[in-house]
Amino acid sequence: MMLPKYAQIYEVGPRDGLQNESQYIATSVKIELIERLANAGFTHVEATSFVSPKAVPQMADHAEVMAGIKRKKGVVYPVLVPNVRGMEAALKAKAQTVAVFAAASEGFSLKNINCSIKESFVRFAPIIQMAQKTNIPVRGYVSCVVGCPYEGDIAPSAVAKVASELFKAGCYEISLGDTIGVGTPEQVRSMLEAVMKVVPAERLALHFHDTHGRALDNIRLGLEMGIQVIDASVAGLGGCPYAPGASGNVASEAVLSMLHELGIETGIDLADVTDTARFISSHLGRLPSA
List residues binding ligand HMG (CB under 6 A): 16, 19, 49-52, 54-56, 80, 82-83, 85-86, 101, 112-115, 141, 143, 177, 179, 207, 240, 242
- Residue 132: closest CA among 189, 161, 91, 162: 91
CB of 256 to ligand HMG, least distance (A): 20
In the DSSP assignment, the letter for residue 240 is: -
Question: Which of these ranges, 9-17, 23-31, 60-68, 146-154, lies near Mg ion under the rule CB under 5 A?
Answer: 9-17
Question: Which of these ranges, 10-18, 99-107, 182-190, 261-269, lies near Mg ion under the rule CB under 5 A?
Answer: 10-18
- Residue 187: closest CA among 135, 148, 226: 148
Q: Which is nearer to ligand HMG, 92 or 260 (CB)?
A: 92
52 binds, among ligand HMG, Mg ion, none (CB under 5 to 8 A by kind): ligand HMG
Question: Radius of gyration over alpha carbons of the chain, in Å?
Answer: 17
Look at strands 147-148 and 152-153 and give their pairing.
antiparallel
Residues serving a catalytic function are 240
Here's the x/- map for Mg ion, 14-53, by CB under 5 A: it reads as --x-------------------------------------
CB of 29 to ligand HMG, least distance (A): 20
| Ramachandran sector of residue 154 (left: φ over 0; alpha: ψ -120 to 50; beta: rest) | beta
Q: Which is nearer to ligand HMG, 88 or 272 (CB)?
A: 88
CB of 261 to ligand HMG, least distance (A): 25
Dist. CA 172–CA 191, nearest whole Å: 20
CB of 6 to ligand HMG, least distance (A): 24
Q: Which is nearer to ligand HMG, 50 or 77 (CB)?
A: 50
Look at strands 204-208 and 229-232 and give their pairing.
parallel
Dist. CA 169–CA 190, nearest whole Å: 24
Contact yes or no for 120/113 (Cβ under 8 A): yes
Q: Which is nearer to ligand HMG, 92 or 286 (CB)?
A: 92
Q: Which is nearer to ligand HMG, 213 or 267 (CB)?
A: 213
Dist. CA 281–CA 241, nearest whole Å: 20
